Amino acid sequence: MSKTYINVLKEGPIGIIQLNRPNALNALNRLMVDEIVEQLEEFNRDDQIRVILLKGNHRAFAAGADIEEMMEDTPLTLEMTDPFAVWDRISLIKKPIIAAVNGFALGGGFELALHCDLIIAAEDAKFGFPEVKLGVMPGAGGTQFLTKAMGRRKALEWIWLGESMSAKEAAHYGVINRVVAPELVEEEAMRLANQLTKQAPISLRLIKEAVYAAEDLPLLEGKKLERKNFYVTFASEDQNEGMQAFKEKRPPSFKGV
Ligand code: CO8
């Protein structure tokens, strides 16, 4: 399963998307973003897939939007084609998405990682928003995601200066989950993905919805949504399986129904 700018493969219940434009450090042109989003949606619909993993290659996760392509834009082409709207579809993916980051995750590349639920990065990975140096600014959610992750002051500092943060700093501020040696990034991301494939898929889905809601909803509304989702888990066979397995002192086998 190969497209123009991504490689797609399945390893059991894990759907893997590899950004594949190495000569341009995986710079994201619009076809590439369309391919990524369409493939995420395809995995989301695929009953065999429980977890999605997004990765680049050893030099770059992605070094941002394709600057050459972007240089052709005018305010009117941007307004009429609304090229960044497609990114909102990533927020509708219900399954866990893990980003495995080696090398550069800059601009749109950083935004792509931030659209993922969990981020595993190499010690020498570099995260940043250099857009300010190009006379523009983040446009696919960077200001929003980073502010929610690290707070207004640090987000402003990073985005204003356009400097790269190390994986260690990104982890310190809660922007990414785990930092490992460069050669272990994929292994660690797959290990995490495999752990998640053992969990009840309906629980994972409802937890994702509730946790994201916590960023936007007032506390009482968020608690209400959590409670509703908790009650919904009791409609699943997996709830029965999970509790029976506990009683019988054996590991559960969840089916996602
Ligand atoms: N766009 C297009 N081509 C790129 C990009 C890019 N963002 N990044 C790297 N490349 C290309 C280079 O032009 C070069 O091509 P060639 O070999 O044909 O000259 C090749 O990749 C290798 O790059 P370098 O030779 O520059 O490699 P270095 O190791 O010297 O430097 C850097 C690596 C520091 C990452 C450097 O390439 C760089 O600064 N890249 C640009 C980073 C950047 O400014 N990113 C932000 C772009 S703007 C943006 O993302 C806006 C987001 C809007 C929403 C998202 C929409 C998708």
The pLDDT, as a whole number, for residue 146 is: 97
Q: Are residues 167 and 55 in the same domain?
A: yes
- Tell me the C-alpha to C-alpha distance, in Å, between residue 97 and each of 43, 121, 168: 10, 14, 21
Whether 137 is in a domain gets the answer: yes
Q: Is the CB of 32 under 6 A from ligand 1?
A: no
Q: Is the CB of 155 under 6 A from ligand 1?
A: no
Q: Which candidate, 153, 151, 112, places its Cα nearest to that of 129?
A: 112
The span from the CA of 37 to the CA of 32, in Å, is: 9
Task: Show Cβ contacts of residue 100 under 8 Å, excluding neighbours closer than 6 positions.
Answer: 53, 54, 55, 56, 61, 120, 121, 185, 186, 188, 189
Q: Which candidate, 155, 161, 126, places its Cα nearest to that of 143?
A: 155
Q: Is the CB of 68 under 6 A from ligand 1?
A: yes
Neighbouring C-beta atoms of residue 30, cutoff 10 Å: 15
Whether 76 is in a domain gets the answer: yes
The pLDDT, as a whole number, for residue 2 is: 59
241 in catalytic set:
no
Q: Are residues 232 and 144 in the same domain?
A: no
The span from the CA of 140 to the CA of 245, in Å, is: 43
Q: Tens digits of per-residue pLDDT, 124-178?
A: 999 999 999 999 999 999 999 999 999 999 999 999 999 999 999 999 999 999 9
ipTM of the complex: 0.98
Whether 254 is in a domain gets the answer: no
Q: What share of the chain is helix, strand, coil (3-state, %, to 5)?
A: 50, 20, 30
Residue 3's Cβ-count burial label (10 Å; 0-12, 13-18, 19+) is middle
111 in catalytic set:
yes
What is the CA 213 to chain-centroid distance, rounded? 16
| Greatest Cα pair distance in the chain | 64
The span from the CA of 41 to the CA of 127, in Å, is: 26
Phi, psi for 11 (deg, rounded to 5): -115, 95
Q: Are residues 193 and 210 in the same domain?
A: no
The span from the CA of 31 to the CA of 50, in Å, is: 26
The span from the CA of 122 to the CA of 104, in Å, is: 10
The pLDDT, as a whole number, for residue 1 is: 56
The span from the CA of 35 to the CA of 31, in Å, is: 6
Kindly give the number of the ligand 1 atom that is closest to the alpha carbon of 59: 29
Catalytic residue, from 27, 65, 121, 167: name it: 65
Which regions in the chain score pLDDT beneath 50?
A: none
Q: Are residues 157 and 220 in the same domain?
A: no
Question: Which range of residues forms the domain containing residue 225?
Answer: 201-247
Q: Last residue of a domain, which of 162, 181, 197?
A: 197
Q: Are residues 97 and 13 in the same domain?
A: yes
112 neighbors 91 (Cβ within 8 angstroms): no
65 in catalytic set:
yes
Q: Hey, what are 168's tokens?
A: 């260690």
Q: Are residues 182 and 95 in the same domain?
A: yes
Kindly give the number of the ligand 1 atom that is closest to the alpha carbon of 129: 46
Neighbouring C-beta atoms of residue 132, cutoff 10 Å: 15
Neighbouring C-beta atoms of residue 31, cutoff 10 Å: 14
Q: Tens digits of per-residue pLDDT, 103-127?
A: 999 999 999 999 999 999 999 999 9
Whether 156 is in a domain gets the answer: yes
